[in-house]
Chains A and B, each alone.
Chain A
Amino acid sequence: MEAYFYHLVVLGGVYIVLTQSLDLISGHTGLMSIAHSALFGIGAYGVAIFYGQMHYPFIVAWLIGMVLAGMAGLMVGLPSLRLRGDYFVIATFALQVLCFNFMNNVSNVTGGTLGITGIPTPWFMSTTARAALVCSSLALLFSFIKWVLTRSPFGRVLNCIREDEDLVMALGRNPVGFKIAAFMISAVMAAAAGGIYAAYVSFVDPTTFTVMDSIAILCAVIIGGSGSTAGPVFGALILIGLPEILRFVGLPYSVASNVRQIIYGMLLVLILMFRPGGVVGGFSFDIREHTRL
């Protein structure tokens, strides 16, 4: 029972880092990303390949994953963030598909559909209790970093980009640079979460990093409450809590994952209708403005 609790803490910590990273770009900057499970995956594969297979020190492999994710973020951000609105979502979708196919098909690097197994557990995660401690500290650290960023002059510009890019320009700021910086930071954070995740579960395969996962993460952030610090934490709890609850209900695995999608969808609709700021509350996606409900 104790081990199970620690296991949940580890997953919770990892997912908090991931949802906080997504919230920086979607909640604070107003740009929907559906590439975050791919960026998470880049971090995970970075650790799997450079630490698990090539035996670099864990910290080096972890950083390589983050740098790669940051570069992927820059690659997608440079062309798409010059444009406004929905182009970015499409570009992130492209990144997601690209990464998934790379993981799935370039077998001599990523192990293909089989993935990479037997990643040794780093010493600081050798027991579940230690791993729980590490992951909860990381969750705290990254939540704090995001909290500082979003309250700083930098974060104020990001929030204003979400509200009105013309106003940002009228006040003398170039939105493009800020958007790219925010997306890169977000990508690096997501990869940081991914690296820890890979080291903890000791294997990676492409099914963990699909577009459905990206959408689930985005749903979780919106349900929890985007543009706040507590909202993504709540979202992460939904992300790990819901599968566990469904498991206790006793649904077979193949059914449970579909039921999960349905529940995410229902929660999302209900939240947007009755509490557009999310459970915890923050920035509201005011669908009434668009749909006249």
Chain B
Amino acid sequence: MQVLLSASGIFKNFGRAEVLRGLQIEVKRGETIGLMGPNGAGKTTLFNVISGFILPDRGKVHFLGRDITSDPPYKRARSGIYRTFQRVRIAEQMTIMDNLLLAFQDRAYERPMSALCRIRDWLALEHTWRRRAFELLKEMNLESEKGRLARDLSYGQQKLLSLALGIASDAKLMLLDEPLAGLSSSMVDRAINLIKIMVRKRSSIIIIEHNTSFLEQMCDYVLFMAQGQILYQGNLQELREHPGVLRSYLGGQMELA
């Protein structure tokens, strides 16, 4: 399988805290990977480094064979990396439909000149964008809410919307930061449904999540991070017996359920 993303020798310090210490990661096309680890292990920082919101102190990030280490976040997003944020980020004072249209719309029509001079062109295209957005809304059971402002949605629905933005932007690599945290069980099902759509579209996915049964169901394998490094890579069964994992997660006292 083709290697989609590779990051090697990633170091990142915040002041005196060493958050990432020589981290190494490789993601192949179409893989779904669970990313686990105790709080402060550097999981979200790793997402920030891959998506470009934080530049590493040392190390290289390659995406589709190209060195993207110094690319700004929007360039990485264009080449196909989408990330969600732990705190949900959506355009709150825009309608749900407009949120999705923003992800669907063609960048070629975003210049102010083409907004004015090619009205017929983008209006025609807008129909297709709306239709595709509507299909996605149906997957989320939100088709009746499309005209509402995103801030009026429940927390769970907002989280679904942030996942849907990833599907709409057609990214090759999805970085999902705790997509299920804080969701009710019916919302969890809808979120899993959306993640399955990503899988069907052959996107590679890295999911930060603590829910092991979900990871078992969705992921090809899991990565376990501790102290800024990947401590373990493999399936969940073996992870549960890995002595280092037990130590760092549970202080070595208990066993994983």
Please report A residues at the B interface, Cβ cutoff 8 Å: 145, 148-149, 152-157, 159-160, 162-164, 166-175, 178, 181-182, 185, 227, 283-284
Contact = CB atoms under 8 A, between A and B. Distances in A.
Contact of B115 (A155, A162, A164, A166): A155
27 contacts: A145-B116, A153-B101, A153-B106, A154-B114, A154-B115, A156-B101, A157-B102, A160-B91, A163-B92, A164-B90, A164-B91, A166-B89, A167-B90, A169-B77, A170-B51, A170-B77, A170-B82, A170-B83, A171-B82, A171-B103, A171-B169, A172-B75, A172-B78, A173-B110, A175-B74, A185-B112, A227-B93
Nearest to A172: B77
A162 B150 CA distance: 14
Given A157-B110, A163-B94, A171 B102 contact: yes
A147 B114 CA distance: 14
B170 to A, nearest CB: 10
Contacts of A172: 74-75, 77-78, 107, 169
Please provide the 4 A-B residue pairs with the shortest distance between their CB atoms, ordered closest to farther: A152-B115, A172-B77, A163-B91, A169-B73
B72 A154 contact: no
Contacts of B77: 169-172
B71 to A, nearest CB: 11
A131 B76 CA distance: 52
Contact of B119 (A148, A155, A157, A162): A148
Contact of A148 (B90, B92, B115): B115
Contacts of A155: 115
Nearest to B84: A170
Interface string B107-125: 1011110111001001000
A178 B74 CA distance: 13
Given A148-B115, A153-B115, 8 more contacts: A148-B119, A152-B109, A152-B115, A152-B122, A153-B110, A156-B94, A162-B93, A172-B169
A164 B72 contact: no
Contacts of A162: 93
Contacts of B82: 170-171
Contacts of B105: 153, 156
B123 to A, nearest CB: 9
Interface in B21-57: 51, 53
Contacts of A145: 116
A163 B119 CA distance: 25
Contacts of B110: 153-154, 157, 173, 178
B189 to A, nearest CB: 25
Interface in B116-149: 116, 119, 122
A160 B102 contact: yes
Contacts of A160: 91, 94, 102
B221 interface: no
Interface string B49-67: 0010100000000000000
B91 A167 contact: yes
A149 B72 contact: no
Contacts of A178: 110
Contacts of B115: 148-149, 152-155
A153 B90 CA distance: 17
B111 A154 contact: yes
Interface string B170-181: 000000000000
A149 B118 CA distance: 11
A241 to B, nearest CB: 28
Nearest to B52: A169
Contacts of A182: 112
A36 B155 CA distance: 39
A185 B98 CA distance: 23
Nearest to B119: A148
A129 to B, nearest CB: 30
Max chain B CB contacts within 10 Å: which of A162, A171, A283? A171
Contacts of A175: 74
A27 B176 CA distance: 32
A219 to B, nearest CB: 20
A172 B94 CA distance: 18
A110 B147 CA distance: 51
A171 B80 CA distance: 9
Given A163-B93, A173-B110, A156 B74 contact: no
B85 interface: yes
Given A153-B109, A164-B89, A166-B53, A174 B74 contact: yes
Contacts of A181: 111-112
B89 A170 contact: yes
B7 interface: no
Contacts of B107: 172-173
A175 B73 CA distance: 11
Contacts of A157: 102, 110
Contact of A159 (B90, B91, B109): B91
Contacts of A156: 94, 98, 101-102, 105
A166 B85 contact: yes
